[in-house]
Amino acid sequence: MAGKITPRPFPESPVVDSVEAFGAFVRSLRTQQQLRIDDAAALCGVSVQLLSDLENGNRSVGLNKALGVAQQLGLSLLAIPKSEQPRVIATIKRQSS
């Protein structure tokens, strides 16, 4: 029997500006749902290796697969112009406090 999964917090910034940042969000969401990597991979219809690569920021994971995993785990992405980031982040922080 596997040990208890330790939930990882979401990254402090909601901005996903790298594959590493995207992977950190995916890992946080998976662990907060108490899903082992093999169970999450099965749920998402991908291999354990692909999910591991995604969580670790490996650039070889295709965008279609990455977005599919995010959707299956319940992670939404919002695309906004970079010039709007400060305003949107401030609004998100106000609404979440």
List pLDDT tens digits, range 3-28: 789 999 988 888 899 999 999 999 99
pLDDT tens figures, 20-79: 999 999 999 999 999 999 999 999 999 999 999 999 999 899 999 999 999 999 999 989
Q: Enter the pTM of the model.
A: 0.86
Domain ranges of the chain: 19-96
Q: Is 82 exposed, middle or buried (0-12, 13-18, 19+ CB in 10 A)?
A: exposed
Q: How far apart are CA 49 and CA 97, in angstroms?
A: 37
Give me the CATH topology for the region 19-96: 434 Repressor (Amino-terminal Domain) (1.10.260)
- Show contacts of 87-93: CB within 8 Å, 24+ apart: 89/13, 89/14, 89/15, 92/14
Q: 54, 61 in Cβ contact below 8 A? A: yes
C-alpha count within 13 angstroms, C-beta hemisphere, residue 74: 8
